[in-house]
Structure 1
Amino acid sequence: MYEAKYPEVGMAVMIQVHHITETGAYVSLLEYNNMKGIILLSELFLRRRRRIRSISSLIKVGHLVPAIVLRVDKEKGYIDLSKKTVSEEDVQACEERYNKSKLVHSIMRHVAKIHSIDLEELYTTIGWPLYRKYGHAYKAFKLIATDPDSILNFLTKEVKEAGPDGEEVTKVVAAVTEEVKDTLVKNIWRRMMPQPVKIRANIEIRCYQFDGVLHIQKALRKAESFGNEDCPVKIKLVTAPLYVLTTQTLDKNKGISVLTNAIKACSEEIEKYKGKLVIKEAARVVS
């Protein structure tokens, strides 16, 4: 995922446990091409007063957890790690970075597959330059979604070709073709941009007074007035007296709040005319 082949000592990295012995846990570093590492028993957890009967009671095979890098053996390609020194801040920062890197990696891998490009080559020309310039490619990808040209047009690469005299010359060209750019932007939009959710509530509303239908219509219009451009409230008659209220919004909590308040206002309005509103299903996300 990263240009650096090895993590730095003291860095928190995301690991997956593969094998457990009496001496420790053998793991792979998910952000560093599944490089092998080990967490010795003494580095699993801080000392406890009670005796530990089994390592498996402390850490499970298959678990994804952050660990601190203690030593890096570049000759053997092996990493010593510690679990006991990981703080809550380390966990939060590591998980956030890993989730962002995993999403970037998934998008890069898809683009490489679509255009039959070597994944490392794609990282060399696009991914790692964006990491260097923006701190993390995730941040650059968010900017690409709104203005791809300003982010991607500065990327270049060197290619070798035959010159007029037959000698090989190096030429600097754009690193991203229009085809690759189009695929990249589409995948970023599909994977990273927030999608609106649909929220729905079901109510029954009755009014047996004179002009009861008009009172119900007035109460429903009151509910609709609680919607706005970002979170419109729509009401549909299923079969009297059952109505469905829906909205679509990027903010789930806001959408639920708007529908809840709309139902409350509708109920208060119909009660003025001795009518009654019953909530059959409270506001909930349906898609």
Structure 2
Amino acid sequence: MPNLECRMYEPRFPEVDAAVMIQVKHIADMGAYVSLLEYNNVEGMILFSELSRRRIRSISSLIKVGRQEPAIVLRVDRDKGYIDLSKRRVSEEEARSCEDRYNKSKLVHSIMRHVAETLEIDLEPIYQRIGWPLYRKYGHAFEAFKLIVADPDAILDVLTYEEKETGPDCQEVTKVVPAVTPEIKETLVQNIRRRMTPQPLKIRADVEMKCFQFDGVLHIKVLVNPVSALGYD
């Protein structure tokens, strides 16, 4: 079975002061344990003192199990995997930006995961060869995916990665090879176009036209007939 678990971004842990999307897992004596949704559900903790700037009267009114919301990273211990977070230090602007980024990342992740599941391959190598390079180049892979809808070759065919192999003289050789195989490219483009192609909108408006001249109806027909000829109802 392929491994379909992977973080959304290249760094294994978020940076201090970054806003991240969390989900509350359970509430303990000192605070709430949460999962960082963008980092493969790595565990973090929000102390009760970091829940609100105001005096806390009821913990349950401030944080609930299962809720998803932004939080600010206070400390990261990369060796032990400990992450301390704050809810009270998140500004409105940071919350909006975090939610927007997460929604885009979630769509990218869903598409990437579906490709891995369809082709029965691990998810992380697809991120290493496609997803994370697109994040680096375009700021967010979502922006690259929007371009892929119209011109996949221009975005995907230039991606490469280094592959190491042993040569005839038993020396290790590094080769630069295309990052996207034809099979992955076809499946990825199909999924991106299915999920991200803009849908045409049909807009209807009721228009009332009046002409107070003697032959007003004829004047209105002169205006309306060219529109009807274009196929609009």
Provide the TM-score with structure 2 as the length reference: 0.82
Q: What corresponds to 2:103 in structure 1?
A: 99
Query: Contact 1:12–1:86 at 8 Å: present in 2 too?
Result: yes
Query: Contact 1:24–1:55 at 8 Å: present in 2 too?
Result: no
Deviations 1:27-67, CA, capped at 9 Å, x for gaps: 0000011010111111000023xx60x31111111111000
Question: Quick check: 1:131 aligned with 2:130?
Answer: no
Q: What corresponds to 1:17 in structure 2?
A: 24
SS in 2 for 1:176: coil
My pick for the range that moved more, 122-131 or 71-80, is 71-80
RMSD: 2.8
Q: What corresponds to 1:77 in structure 2?
A: 81
Q: What corresponds to 1:41 in structure 2?
A: 48
CA distance in 1, matches of 2:166, 2:77: 42
Change (3 A) 1:87 1:114: same
In proportion to residue count, which structure has more strand?
1
SS in 2 for 1:158: strand
Change (3 A) 1:224 1:135: same
Q: CA deviation at 1:162?
A: 5.7
Q: What corresponds to 1:270 in structure 2?
A: none
Q: What corresponds to 2:227 in structure 1?
A: 225
Q: CA deviation at 1:223?
A: 9.2
CA distance in 2, matches of 1:29, 1:105: 14
Q: CA deviation at 1:108?
A: 0.6
Q: CA deviation at 1:157?
A: 2.1
Q: Which has the larger radius of gyration?
A: 1
CA distance in 1, matches of 2:153, 2:71: 38
Change (3 A) 1:117 1:226: same
Query: Contact 1:130–1:140 at 8 Å: present in 2 too?
Result: yes
SS in 1 for 2:39: coil
Q: What corresponds to 1:29 in structure 2?
A: 36
What is the percent sequence identity of the aligned residues?
A: 66
- Structure 2 unaligned segments of length 5 or more: list them: 1-7, 207-216
The one-letter amino acid of 1:156's match is T
Q: CA deviation at 1:227?
A: 9.9
The 5 A counterparts of 1:184-199 are 184-198=188-202
SS in 2 for 1:15: strand
Query: Contact 1:22–1:55 at 8 Å: present in 2 too?
Result: no
Q: What corresponds to 1:154 in structure 2?
A: 158
CA distance in 2, matches of 1:182, 1:57: 48
Provide the TM-score with structure 1 as the length reference: 0.67
SS in 1 for 2:183: helix
Q: What corresponds to 1:4 in structure 2?
A: 11
Alignment coverage as a number of residue pairs: 216
Q: What corresponds to 2:115 in structure 1?
A: 111
The one-letter amino acid of 1:188's match is I
SS in 2 for 1:68: strand
Q: Which residue, out of 174, 181, 186, partners 2:178?
A: 174
- Structure 1 unaligned segments of length 5 or more: list them: 203-214, 235-287
Q: CA deviation at 1:179?
A: 2.0
CA distance in 2, matches of 1:112, 1:43: 38
Q: CA deviation at 1:198?
A: 4.9
The one-letter amino acid of 1:72's match is V
Q: Return the structure number with greater relative CO, CA threshold 8 A, min gap 6.
A: 2
Change (3 A) 1:12 1:150: same
